[in-house]
A and B are shown apart, each in its own frame.
Chain A
Amino acid sequence: MSGPARYLDPAIIARLGTIDLKARTIVEGFLTGLHRSPYKGFSVEFAEYRQYIPGDDLATLDWKVFARSDKHFVKKYEEETNLTCHMMLDVSGSMGYGSGDITKLQYASYLTGALAYLMHRQRDSFGLIAFDDSIAALLPASARSGHLRTLLLALERIEIGARTNVAKPLHDLAAAVRKRGMVVLISDLLDDPANVLEGLKHFRYRGTDVIVFHILDPYELKFPFEQAARFRDMETAEEVAAVPGSIRQDYIDRMQERIAFFRRELGLVGIDYCQLETSQPLELGLMSYLMTRRRVL
């Protein structure tokens, strides 16, 4: 599949619906009118009718229906959302790594597209910031009907950048965002963990909710290399000669230590952290987003 539609892979969306029925309800709730929203009764958006049951709030009775059918129905409403979401996509050199058919950047792009689709369905405002050590592409948040296509086209044009500097765009964006909203960071976080943490905290101090998708390739987690080789950094071109067998455990420990650090420290400041492997289904990411969104709302 090519073109912008690649980011709307129907299979992804379909699998999202089949895995978690409630999630599908949230995405397409009021369009189908078949399922119940967990936020019913608090939204101005009509969701469904239900026969009155004694004990229901009389304020929810639809008197017009009663007049026409002489039956008591209660009106149910989906919560109307009005969220502004900024998606920050890391396009640094390290995101170009892929041990299988898909690189981390491709995976992150698919995830960004899927999230945008969901946000579009919910009429949330969403924007995109692609960055490496500076902002490579910026798409301000909007809920306009054509905005999704614009974002998907922007994703299509993204190229691998240079070195990672997560903290700087985070600080820049935190200073720029005025309205309380949500920030989605999609990155491999191969930067100084302390700097990354400081940048994310900046958002939290301003009351912005943050979800971090930590994208990792399976090889980054398991380091399954066998033959002695020189490992060249994809961003700095620094080389380290090593025998994988002799350093594997040390590397894995360090990687797990880093993951644990982010999970722990981000959790302490109320930032959701979701570690994704490029071999895992995207639904996990979407679900994490939806869970965070529900918490935000």
Chain B
Amino acid sequence: MGGISFLSPLFLIGAIAAAVPILLHLFHRKTEVVIDFPAVSLLKRAPVQQHRRRRLRELLLLALRVGALLLLALSFARPYLAGAAATSSMPLTVITVDTSMSMSAPGQMDRARDAASRAAAAAPSSHALALIGFGDTAAVIVEPTTDRSAIASAITQLNASASGTRFRTALARASEIIGTREGSVVVVTDLQQAGWEANDDGGLPDGINVEVISVPPPTGNLAVTSAERRDRRIVASIQNYANSEVTAPVRLFAAGKEIAKVDVTMAARGAADAELIGSLPAGGDAEVRVDDVSGYQPDNSRKVLLDPAPSVPIAIVVADPTGSTGGLYVERALKVAGNGREFSVDVRDGREVAKWTGAELSKIAAMFVLGTRTLDRNGREVIRNYLTRGGQVFVAAGPDVDPGTLADVLGTKLPFEGDPIRTAGATMIARDGRHPIFRPFLSPSGALGDVQVEQHRRLKDPADHTVLARFSGGDAALTEQAAGEGRLIVFTSDLDNAWSRFPLNPAFVPFAIETARYLTRSQSLARRSPEVAKAAESNPAATTVEEFTNAIERTTRAGVTEAQNAAREIEDRQRWWQIGLVIMLVALAGEALVGRRAT
């Protein structure tokens, strides 16, 4: 359910002015005058209908005047459709439930769900409710709503995942939802110590109450922290997080069968290796499991790839591979990923693109287009078909890319404005540091802000793409959009050291690798071992409620600022205020027209 919010709600006070014409109408509405007149017989053609028509006209005039004033106030208040279910002014209670791996001990999520349900029931009736589930990321499961049954239903669906814990991320998300209104946050969590990541940002503005409901962690936990193949053996490291010695069986499974088992004894809060020898298959994977009934479940097993993972094929299309803008930097950056085994890179001359066969194309996980000048018609068609049929394409709109032919290449028109723009060292700013491409830059040492760009193309901000990063002047630097069944990421400068020195910056290699990983994520996931939780997540050590509360960074609406920025962006895209002003002008024109006829 959507709702209208206002960027500058104080201007709504101006709507009081709409009362002026109403009051004038009421005060000036005289009691109907009766005039004695001798020649009334000559007035008989002046029917009462005229009188009624005039009353209708007066009401229409009143409506137009009131409407114009209301629209003026509304337009200045900058309305936008926020997508929130509850009204933006309604007090809000946000229930955030920890769904990280550390909540996966038997019975833990049941207790968490019960606590969340009780918190929802205890929330003031004047409050709207929202539900957030958080681990590494915080997802709004139920937008602010007054429908408490929806909240209750969603709570019953909550389950622990294999992700880590990031309290600040959850608090920041809650703060965004609350915005400027009155609100409180209920955190249902095991208070895991590892949940306070130093690199995370996020807190709660002053004035927002926090209620912490603790779901106690298990007293101990066993975790398979590593496993690797050593010839015909599998060596796994088992960590004991209990305060007492533990002996537990460790098993090795392959092809669905247990092929080895060994009992391992671990000292209190200590680790031990388990050496598993069995008949391993030639390929596929094997799984090491430790029996841990009372601890966290996802960390009780770990998969081991028995054959090396194949590298992910990536193509780089350039205008001239022998020239200075031949994709050298991107190629070198991608080739160092995963100790040189993660990607196989094919740099392809634009003139040779048309020679790709369908089978070859289907194997390309992602394509970097750095030059289009030498692409012939068939080459353009090949890339277009690749993209629209589900391909992943990255375009660096540098000097070798002709915006005019790019639409033909991509099958979608990118709204570039005019010639490239020269800027004296514009820096790049990520809009959301949590985006997978920018995760390496979260720490200050990996600051993307050191990247300086001298020239870039200006890309308008239509609604069909997401801006991932901007240059310091405000222009889009990196955008992402869907194109047919595929995905298109556009960098508005170049990656060949022509318009910027980005390729020489330390941030370039991680940027290129993470971009490639992001584009090829689906294939990579299929070929990699399953995601395993962070080791720290397996540690059930917890803080106290007081420690947790004290750790919350209190801001002066810093979180709100982010929410306001997001709101401003939404409002910028929607621009309802312009529509409001146009309608107001139409209303005024109508008022003038009707008013002239009335006199």
Contacts and interface: CB of A to CB of B under 8 A. Distances in A.
Contact of B38 (A233, A243, A254): A233
B37 interface: yes
B42 A255 contact: yes
A233 B40 contact: yes
Interface string A36-77: 000000000000000000000000000000000000000000
B91 to A, nearest CB: 50
A230 B33 contact: yes
B46 A251 contact: yes
Given A94-B38, A250-B45, A243 B33 contact: no
Interface stretch (B48-56, B177-185, B270-278, B476-484): B48-56
A251 B54 contact: no
Nearest to B33: A229
B522 interface: no
Interface string B183-205: 00000000000000000000000
A242 interface: yes
Contacts of B45: 247, 250, 254
B47 to A, nearest CB: 8
B40 A232 contact: yes
Interface string A246-261: 1100110011001000
A240 B43 contact: yes
Contacts of A227: 30, 33
Nearest to A95: B38
A209 interface: no
Give the interface residue-count category, chain B.
20 to 34
Contacts of A14: none
Interface in A228-278: 228-236, 238-243, 245-247, 250-251, 254-255, 258
Contacts of B464: none
Contacts of B48: 240-241
A159 interface: no
Contacts of B36: 97, 231-232, 234
A220 interface: yes
B546 interface: no
Given A229-B34, A230-B33, A231-B35, A247 B50 contact: yes
A240 B44 contact: yes
A12 to B, nearest CB: 25
A227 B598 CA distance: 12
A137 interface: no
A62 B39 CA distance: 60
A258 B54 CA distance: 28
A235 B41 CA distance: 10
Best-buried of A236, A242, A255 by chain B (most CB within 10 Å): A242
Nearest to B43: A240
A220 B35 CA distance: 13
Best-buried of A94, A238, A240 by chain B (most CB within 10 Å): A240
A242 B46 contact: yes
Contact of A231 (B30, B40, B50, B54): B40
Contacts of B40: 231-234, 236, 238-240
A220 B39 contact: yes
Contacts of A246: 46, 50, 54
A281 B37 CA distance: 23
B51 A228 contact: yes
B51 A231 contact: no
A247 B43 contact: yes
A254 B40 CA distance: 11
Contacts of A104: 38
Contacts of A97: 36-38
Nearest to B37: A231
A259 to B, nearest CB: 11
A242 B34 contact: no
Contact of B34 (A188, A239, A250): A239
B31 to A, nearest CB: 10
A235 to B, nearest CB: 8
A190 B38 contact: yes
Contacts of A235: 38
Given A229-B33, A233-B40, A251-B39, 14 more contacts: A93-B38, A225-B35, A227-B33, A228-B33, A228-B54, A229-B35, A231-B35, A232-B34, A233-B38, A234-B40, A239-B40, A241-B32, A242-B51, A255-B42
Interface of A: 93-95, 97, 104, 188, 190, 217, 219-220, 225, 227-236, 238-243, 245-247, 250-251, 254-255, 258
Interface of B: 30, 32-46, 48, 50-51, 54, 598-599
28 contacts: A94-B38, A190-B41, A217-B38, A229-B35, A231-B35, A231-B40, A231-B43, A232-B34, A232-B40, A233-B38, A233-B41, A238-B40, A239-B34, A239-B40, A240-B43, A241-B50, A241-B51, A242-B43, A242-B50, A243-B46, A246-B46, A247-B50, A251-B39, A251-B42, A251-B43, A251-B46, A254-B42, A254-B45
